Structure 1
Amino acid sequence: RLPRRRTARTVLAACGVLAAALTGYLLLAPGHGDATARVDSAPAARWSSLPAGWQPWQTTAYADAERGVKKAPGYEGDRAPACVPDDEALYCAGSALLPERVDATTGRTLWRSGITPASLPADRYVTTVLGTHEGVVLVELTITGDDGRGRSQSVLALDAADGRELWSHPVRTDSLGSAYAAGLTLTQEGDGTTVTVRSARQGTVRRRISLPVGYDCSPLAVADRPYVQCASRAEGSHATRFLVVDPTGTSDRVLESPAQQGSFVGVQHGRLLFVESDERPVTNSPDLIYTRIVRVDPDTAGRSVTKLPERYRGGTPSLAHGTLYFATSSGLVTAVSPVTGERLWRSHTTLETPGAVSVDPSGRTVCLAGGSGRVAALDAVRGTLLWESSARAEVLDSGLLPEVWFHRGALVLAASDGTLFTLDPAHPDRRPAPAG
């Protein structure tokens, strides 16, 4: 499926800055550079205090639940969950994992929803959390046949309090996924020629959008705005169409914005921002080489191109706090101006195949993680390496790239073997006390 960032992620208050630390930072911070970052000798000064009584916790996405399906079926210790944070909870799903709610403060699994028949083997289903809205958790469920191909697919709404199913609707099994944005779910249903927009709360149809003939289309959402991205099926064609959906669901106005094939990274100054790639650096490398930034005006479909002053390597780029980030499979992180394409800094980490870059709510600190649960924190302005934490899992790669979430001053992560844990960014290797 086309790249999709999980939606409706409420980034919670974290990483506050003390006045004295800010003053010291402004006095000491040099300009942007391209040297390899050095380790910060006093990382604790930049982090705010954690809540009184806070304790680090570590659990697994397959821990016993307090409500619903108590024991997770089919756990083999080599599957990573994908989680969506919202307020005080993480809503997690994944391959062979039923949707569940985990308390972000304590690590307790509050409920696990039994949305599949109890007799269905765990290796026959995949669940994805699309987003949350007014006490509702939107989930996509795919059930596969013995050959591993999709047999049925549906979108469901669950009650966030207890995991009860509120409504469900079938989706085409050959669709490229569903999306959630602004209280709406977007799914490809029926004969595949339309995308259906439904109310997330009631599941009622708001509108249906006709899709262009000869294109494969995928609903997605960025910054809580709904879109539909379509790629031409014609051999050798890189043509794409980008439909900008009215987020209120009350208008039939859909704008088509043609652009060349590339990674859609977000919205910058009201423009849709793409980063285009030409080639891979080496055979079998998961990285791409990016050479252009493309902006598309969603109102006029006007397209402007900025040639990057150098070739940047990385996986899927990410846009956060007005900066474009590239992270390579070898742990090299590059920060780039999304306006000029100028490199702001480049730093080396020792992470193995890191996931997307996350930036704390203050915009001061960049965090990213590898599959083993190792985390690197860097200064967002200088690129200085603040620290790297130790591993929490033996499995390095399970097909999902890990992300870092922020919760009440702490970092929360999921490792490739299903381990869920939190850490104190001022003391990243502080571990939970032994049980008993």
Structure 2
Amino acid sequence: MVLRDSDPAEAGGYRIEDRLGSGGMGVVYLARSASGRRLAVKVVHGQYADDDEFRARFRREVAAARQVSGAFTAPVVDADADAPRPWMATLYIPGADLGRHIRDHGPLPLPRLRELAAGLAEAIRDIHRAGVVHRDLKPANVMLADDGPRVIDFGISRATEFAASDVLTQTGRVMGTPPFMSPEQFSAPQDVGPAADIFSLGAVVAFAASGRGPFDSPSPYETAIRVVEGDPELDDVPAELLPFIRLCLEKEPKSRPTADELLRLLRNGDWRTTDDAPTPVDTGRPRRRTRRWLAVVAGTLALAAATTTVALTGDDSAPGNLPAGWRAWHKQAKDPSLDKDPMGPTALFNRCVASGTSLVCAGDEIMATRFALADGRNTWARPIDQTADGEDFGSSSSGGGTIIGARDGRVYVYGADDRPDDEASYPTRYTIQALNAGTGRTIWSTVTADGSDGTEPSSDQGASVAVPAGIMTVYGKTGRQFALLDADDGKVRWKRPLPNPDQYMTLLRSSAGQAYLLTGKYTTDNIESTSIAQLDPATGKPRWTVKVKGDMDIVGRHDGRLVLVNVTGARRTLTLVNTTSHVMTTVKLAKVQPEGAAPTLVNGTLYFTLSNGSIRAFDPATGRQAWASNSGVEQSGPPTASGTHLYVASPSGRLAALNRSTGEVEGTLPGRDDGAVDGSPAGAPLTLVGDALYVPYGLRSVYTVDVRDL
């Protein structure tokens, strides 16, 4: 930022070179010491110089920052709280703050999310060991340095040894930034302790994973209510980090782990899932969820915004966020079934997921195959039918293969082995398997059905879903049960009956880590009503059930509400189900969408895509249409979004990038005709890892592109 005429030439003897940022409390400058060391110097606004309480708070900030030293904090070099304009100098950290980085580049990929979570947990541990509570951990206060994140700005921190009678915490002010504050910061600000920083840590990691805060709402007041009373919105958070984030976001401070416990859990992967949410092993803490109303929020949030502190921001030009060693590539998968199928590949993948350094894809008789994220090396491939004699009996598995989920370096897939019983019968043994994403090694394999009447456990067909506890799947010889397979060992933890399949159609769905059973009741020609039940992962029993008219399916969750659309017929309305109160509301779409328009909920926006390339964007809370555009991409699969753009691709690999705010097409790539498949269905979902976009296309092929080059 350019220096202004009103900016000082120096502060505390340090020569000022540039402006880094400004806010309600002061301005942050880039300065140099006499030895040439670069510093970030915060100089408070002149109007605060005569405010005795402000000076006391500033002294506290300096004292708190001096107490903290660690690899993931910015050390204080010098300060003067008694100067005509108080100032503090910290070591300059080049790079953008987390909030700016996510706005410019979209959510972080999983490897960087792990690094962020561990770095922030270590920083908070060091802060708490120094007897300090930060109380304003937010994306703007996290700098992304080359060697890891740094926590900055202790402007509203409090030393834990201060007594409750401390006047600076008795003023009735709500201190912090609403989307990242803990419930107790609203309801009992004088009692805020170290657990508040743990809650904020979880909210910050969720923001980095999804591009939005877990409690974001249109107004600060609604945000505060959601923080205190609502469920977090975690739809776009990778499954591997859901246990970590949910632990941090416990409403009750005593139910949250300490920073040391979080580091141990991250290091050891030591999670245990209960009937409500994952908890750390051996913490010795009771799990409590108390329902409290927001008693002290009204009239204070504007003041809270005014008392947040200035971020020490760095260089605006952040480097590309790409997997280590990445280069543009396009590859076709090995076909593990060529000895059985001389025709070779016939169709495109139907799903790919990123896990660690791997992109694992499935579809068209491939149970799973792995490409290296960096260079596309196709290191292993497994057929969906691994019948020992290698013969293909043309079972119902034809065209099968999909990835059910991914977690902790594993991918969950299904197999379908055909075994000739006699000349007229070819029963199939279905299995769900957990594979090591890097090596393809089978960690466990569980039979879900064995016989001609069994049900294929495909997630695409609503017969299996991944949840943090494991895999819920249709189960049994005739497919009349559903069961939970444990994520760690594949053992059946419980089984429950499904409704009569002659009268009901059932689907298993998941959203925000929760599993739902949808039960459609048949009449002669259609489905007259659909029951939606949220399932308890510990028992499989419904926690609650609501009933809606018609044939409904879940698109996703937004602002704590499930979003449902009708499967057949024109889409005129949306049905929203509050997952806490279970109240249903109907939202009228501003423009009717045809039955052929495929709905996808991405980052809080509902998109309808048509086979001719048309895309319409709607606000699911109001039904208002934000924009309508034509991507030029026919037969596109579900769209994928970064913080700024929406991406769609065709089965042949034609790609378009649309501005998420306006719908304008701002970048395209032509299709790769060598992979085109006649009569193929819509394209597969895309996978975005930082700035690297992975596009399945054609004959079991994938290519990758840096989205900044579009």
- Compute the TM-score of the two structures, normalised by the length of structure 2: 0.48
Find the counterpart in structure 1 of residue 13 from structure 2.
Answer: none
Find the counterpart in structure 2 of residue 321 from structure 1.
Answer: 603
Q: Which whole-Å CA distance do the structure 1 matches of 2:393 and 2:413 have between them?
A: 17
> Residues 46, 94 of structure 1: CA spacing in aligned structure 2 closer, same or farther, 3 A cutoff?
farther
Q: Which amino acid aligns with 2:435?
A: L
Q: Which whole-Å CA distance do the structure 1 matches of 2:665 and 2:709 have between them?
A: 15
Give the counterpart of 2:512 among 223, 228, 238.
223
Find the counterpart in structure 2 of residue 194 from structure 1.
Answer: 481
In structure 1, the gaps of 5 or more residues are 1-9, 15-44, 64-68, 280-288, 429-436
1:209 partner SS: strand
Q: Which whole-Å CA distance do the structure 2 matches of 1:272 and 1:242 have between them?
A: 10
**Alpha-carbon offset, residue 263 of structure 1:** 3.5
The question of 1:203 aligning with 2:485 is answered: no
In structure 2, the gaps of 5 or more residues are 1-107, 113-315
Q: Which amino acid aligns with 2:347?
A: R
Identity between Structure 1 and Structure 2 (%): 24
Find the counterpart in structure 2 of residue 337 from structure 1.
Answer: 619
The question of 1:388 aligning with 2:668 is answered: yes
User: Do 1:70 and 1:112's aligned partners in 2 also have CA atoms closer than 8 Å?
Assistant: no
Q: Which whole-Å CA distance do the structure 2 matches of 1:349 and 1:47 have between them?
A: 29
Q: Which whole-Å CA distance do the structure 2 matches of 1:375 and 1:316 have between them?
A: 18
**Alpha-carbon offset, residue 230 of structure 1:** 1.8
Q: Which whole-Å CA distance do the structure 2 matches of 1:389 and 1:309 have between them?
A: 32
> Residues 11, 327 of structure 1: CA spacing in aligned structure 2 closer, same or farther, 3 A cutoff?
farther
Find the counterpart in structure 1 of residue 391 from structure 2.
Answer: 120
Query: Larger Rg: 1 or 2?
Result: 2
Find the counterpart in structure 2 of residue 282 from structure 1.
Answer: none
**Alpha-carbon offset, residue 405 of structure 1:** 1.2
Q: Which amino acid aligns with 2:649?
A: A
- Compute the TM-score of the two structures, normalised by the length of structure 1: 0.76
> Residues 150, 85 of structure 1: CA spacing in aligned structure 2 closer, same or farther, 3 A cutoff?
farther
**Alpha-carbon offset, residue 162 of structure 1:** 2.3
Find the counterpart in structure 2 of residue 378 from structure 1.
Answer: 658
Q: Which whole-Å CA distance do the structure 2 matches of 1:109 and 1:138 have between them?
A: 19
Give the counterpart of 1:305 among 586, 592, 597.
586
Find the counterpart in structure 2 of residue 105 from structure 1.
Answer: 374
User: Do 1:77 and 1:417's aligned partners in 2 also have CA atoms closer than 8 Å?
Assistant: yes
Q: Which whole-Å CA distance do the structure 1 matches of 2:567 and 2:480 have between them?
A: 29
Find the counterpart in structure 2 of residue 285 from structure 1.
Answer: none
Find the counterpart in structure 2 of residue 80 from structure 1.
Answer: 348
Q: Which whole-Å CA distance do the structure 2 matches of 1:300 and 1:212 have between them?
A: 25
> Residues 315, 158 of structure 1: CA spacing in aligned structure 2 closer, same or farther, 3 A cutoff?
same
Q: Which whole-Å CA distance do the structure 2 matches of 1:333 and 1:318 have between them?
A: 11
Give the counterpart of 2:560 among 270, 276, 291.
270
**Alpha-carbon offset, residue 417 of structure 1:** 2.1
**Alpha-carbon offset, residue 413 of structure 1:** 0.8
2:628 partner SS: strand
Q: Which whole-Å CA distance do the structure 2 matches of 1:122 and 1:406 have between them?
A: 37
Q: Which amino acid aligns with 2:431?
A: S
Q: Which amino acid aligns with 1:169?
A: V
Q: Which whole-Å CA distance do the structure 2 matches of 1:251 and 1:394 have between them?
A: 43
Q: Which whole-Å CA distance do the structure 1 matches of 2:317 and 2:464 have between them?
A: 39
Find the counterpart in structure 2 of residue 258 from structure 1.
Answer: 547
**Greater share of residues in strand:** 1
Give the counterpart of 1:245 among 535, 539, 553.
535
User: Do 2:650 and 2:682's aligned partners in 1 also have CA atoms closer than 8 Å?
Assistant: no
Q: Which amino acid aligns with 1:204?
A: K
User: Do 1:352 and 1:396's aligned partners in 2 also have CA atoms closer than 8 Å?
Assistant: no
User: Do 2:352 and 2:687's aligned partners in 1 also have CA atoms closer than 8 Å?
Assistant: no
**Alpha-carbon offset, residue 109 of structure 1:** 1.4
Q: Which whole-Å CA distance do the structure 1 matches of 2:604 and 2:337 have between them?
A: 43
**Greater share of residues in helix:** 2
**Alpha-carbon offset, residue 297 of structure 1:** 3.0
Q: Which whole-Å CA distance do the structure 2 matches of 1:89 and 1:324 have between them?
A: 29
Q: Deviations over 1:214-273 (max 9, x none)?
A: 3221222223222222222332333112221124x2674532221231342111122211
User: Do 2:337 and 2:383's aligned partners in 1 also have CA atoms closer than 8 Å?
Assistant: no
2:328 partner SS: coil
Q: How does 1:93-172 map to 2 (within 5 A)?
A: 93-113=362-382, 116-118=386-388, 119-121=390-392, 124=395, 125=397, 126-143=400-417, 151-165=428-442, 166-171=444-449
1:426 partner SS: helix
2:629 partner SS: strand
> Residues 92, 316 of structure 1: CA spacing in aligned structure 2 closer, same or farther, 3 A cutoff?
same
